[in-house]
């Protein structure tokens, strides 16, 4: 097909329908090469446009005898080697430098290597259960419409013992997150104690899939397990943790119907009702362990779940006695003890109930106040009682444009705690400016004109008020730093002027 296109283009150039420069652009060749092809076409016709390398040996072929010698050496010394190792040994011991791909193809031709695509699929053989209860706990989350159409879909966090297939902990949450697993882990630890190990998938809650230069290389859940002296392992496939996967199928059938019969339609009511269901489930589907020994270890005085199952992050204290966490600036009180922390690292403790504590290097509690960059409270403006409803209406319009989502949602939030990007249709609070206020004022003006469509002169009044606001705002000096997203006095004055002029004359 490429040679046919070349023939058509060269023929058009010879006939005078195309220039050499346009033909060079079409064929992605230089103009000089186009002239060479034209000369060959005039001399030999269409066969002259064929590549001159056709029928000739490649310029990159191996020297004569090298391939045969390498093949004999591989058969004699390295029949069970892989292509990479065989290529290394040929270069180190025999002075034959070949690419790994070349050695791989040679071994395929000799029948010593099978390409990955031609290999039979790997069969996941079932393994024996662990011998004792508490030796290995499989954990996973299952997204499903547990309440059918009575409530939105949610996630069930399930802990299943490998030796007995018993459910050791079960909890409904809005979505899989670190704090959702912390809550279920607390239920398991309080009820049974500390197991030897947990077995999970490779979700970002359990494993750092993209390691960065900074950081400890472990997730918050893995850090909590390490503090509790519990091992954590990740499965390479779903079949490896088949006990909990099989429990998901059983729960999706039975638990949905049990919730329907019990008339439960909320997560809180379901979590209160679940302990009785877990007892009934374990009696029906639990297996007897190989040994009766329970290897769970009781919680000791050193196992402080209150300060272990939380989100911990290190922060450094600046010269101004400040530190920042999740778009909130924390100002340490200026005391002699806390002044010694300048330049040192402290820990931020974020609890499930949204409490935040700052602790020093020795674990001491630090005193601070908060400077929230996304604080929704602004300086109140004096508003006339008759205009309050309209000012609130415009403030609501501006607030719908504001993107005040933090880098990580709060632990108590129903959404996941994964980091997210900026909202495409919203504006950061410190970016709210003339355009957003202008649009909000237009929206409010349009709604009021629709409500009073029998007075067409309102359109001119609203337009004049908006133009007045924009003209005055453009004449104001530019102010650096965070802006106040509340309606400015100029905007409020324009709204008041518009409302006063649009109000029917009384008396």
Query: Residue 384's pLDDT is what?
Result: 55
pLDDT score of 392 more than 60: yes
CATH topology for 137-285 is Nucleotidyltransferase; domain 5 (3.30.420)
For residue 320, give every residue at least 6 positions away whose Cβ sits within 8 Å of its Cβ, in sequence order, or none.
Answer: none
pLDDT in tens, 306-363: 999 999 999 999 999 999 998 889 999 999 999 999 999 999 999 988 899 999 998 8
Measured CA to CA in angstroms, residue 502 lies from 22, 190, 384, 444, 464 at distances of 66, 67, 16, 13, 12
Cβ-in-10-Å burial (0-12, 13-18, 19+) of 212 comes to exposed
pLDDT per residue as tens digits for the range 31-83: 999 999 899 888 888 888 887 778 888 888 888 889 999 999 999 999 999 99
The Cα–Cα gap between 197 and 296 comes to: 10
Average pLDDT over every residue of 212-236: 85
Give the closest residue to 316 by CA, choosing from 293, 344, 296, 336. Answer: 344
Taking only the tens place, the pLDDT of each residue in 440-478 is 766 766 655 454 545 555 455 555 555 554 454 444 444
DSSP letter string over 100-133?
HHHHHHHHHHTTS---GGGSPPPP----PPPSSB
The CB density around residue 320, as the number of other CB atoms within 10 Å, is 11
What is the enclosing helix (H) or strand (E) of 190?
Answer: helix 178-192
Let me know the angle formed at the C-alpha of 431 by 381 and 480, rounded to the nearest 5 degrees: 80
Residue ranges per domain, the chain? 2-49, 66-118, 137-285, 311-372, 385-502
Share of the chain above pLDDT 70, in %: 73
Residue 429, pLDDT score: 63
Beta-strand relationship, 322-325 and 311-316: unpaired
Q: CA 160 to CA 92: how far, in whole Å?
A: 52
The answer to whether the CB of 200 falls within 8 A of the CB of 232 is yes
Neighbouring residues of 226: CB distance < 8 A, sequence distance ≥ 6 = 218
CA separation for the pair 145, 151 (Å, rounded): 8
What is the structure's pLDDT at 131? 93
| pLDDT for residue 218 | 86
If one counts every other C-beta atom within 10 angstroms of the C-beta of residue 405, the result is 16
Whole-number mean pLDDT of the chain?
A: 82
Domain covering 311-372 assigned CATH 2.40.50 in the classification: yes
- Residue 357: in which H helix or E strand, if any? strand 356-359
Sheet holding 311-316, edge to edge: 311-316, 345-350, 356-359
Q: With 70 as the cut, is the pLDDT of residue 221 above it?
A: yes
């Amino acid at each position: 097909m490429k040679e046919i296109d070349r023939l058509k283009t060269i023929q058009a150039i010879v006939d005078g329908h195309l220039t050499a420069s346009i033909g060079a652009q079409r064929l992605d060749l230089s103009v000089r090469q186009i002239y060479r092809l034209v000369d060959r076409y005039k001399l030999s016709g269409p066969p002259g446009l064929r590549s001159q390398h056709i029928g000739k040996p490649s310029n990159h072929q191996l020297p004569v005898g090298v391939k045969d010698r390498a093949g004999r050496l591989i058969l004699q010394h390295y029949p069970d080697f892989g292509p990479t190792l065989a290529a290394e040994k040929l270069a180190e011991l025999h002075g034959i430098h070949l690419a790994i791909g070349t050695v791989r193809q040679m071994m395929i031709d000799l029948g010593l290597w099978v390409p990955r695509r031609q290999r039979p699929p790997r069969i996941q053989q079932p393994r024996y259960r662990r011998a004792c209860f508490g030796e290995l706990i499989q954990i996973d989350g299952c997204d499903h419409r547990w309440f059918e159409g009575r409530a939105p879909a949610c996630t069930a966090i399930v802990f299943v013992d490998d030796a007995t297939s018993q459910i050791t902990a079960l909890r409904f949450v809005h979505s899989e997150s670190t704090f959702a697993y912390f809550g279920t882990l607390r239920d398991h630890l309080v009820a049974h104690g500390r197991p030897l190990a947990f077995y999970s998938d490779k979700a970002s809650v359990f494993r750092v899939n993209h390691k960065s230069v900074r950081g400890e290389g472990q997730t918050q859940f893995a850090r909590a397990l390490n503090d509790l002296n519990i091992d954590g392992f990740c499965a390479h496939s779903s079949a490896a943790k088949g006990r909990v996967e099989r429990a998901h199928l059983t729960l999706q059938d039975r638990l949905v119907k049990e919730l329907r019969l019990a008339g439960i339609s909320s997560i809180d009511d379901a979590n209160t009702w679940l302990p009785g269901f877990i007892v009934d489930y374990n009696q029906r589907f639990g297996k007897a362990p190989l040994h009766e020994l329970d290897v769970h270890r009781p919680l000791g005085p050193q196992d402080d779940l209150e300060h272990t199952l939380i989100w911990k992050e290190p922060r450094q204290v600046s010269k101004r006695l400040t530190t920042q966490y999740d778009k909130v600036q924390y100002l340490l009180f200026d005391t002699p003890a806390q002044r010694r922390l300048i330049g040192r690292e402290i820990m931020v403790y974020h609890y499930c109930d949204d409490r935040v504590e700052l602790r020093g290097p020795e674990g001491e509690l630090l005193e601070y106040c908060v400077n929230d960059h996304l604080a929704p409270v602004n300086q109140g403006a004096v508003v006339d009682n008759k205009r309050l409803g309209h000012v609130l209406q415009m403030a609501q319009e501006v607030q719908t444009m504001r993107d005040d989502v933090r880098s990580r949602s709060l632990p108590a939030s129903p959404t996941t705690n994964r980091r997210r990007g900026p909202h495409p249709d919203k504006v950061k609070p410190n970016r709210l400016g003339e355009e957003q206020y202008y649009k909000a004022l237009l929206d409010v003006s349009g709604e009021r004109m629709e409500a009073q469509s029998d007075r067409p002169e309102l359109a001119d009044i609203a337009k004049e008020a908006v133009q007045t606001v924009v003209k005055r705002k453009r004449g104001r000096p530019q102010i650096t730093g965070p802006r106040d997203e509340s309606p400015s006095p100029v905007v409020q004055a324009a709204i008041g002027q518009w409302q006063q002029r649009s109000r029917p004359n009384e008396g």
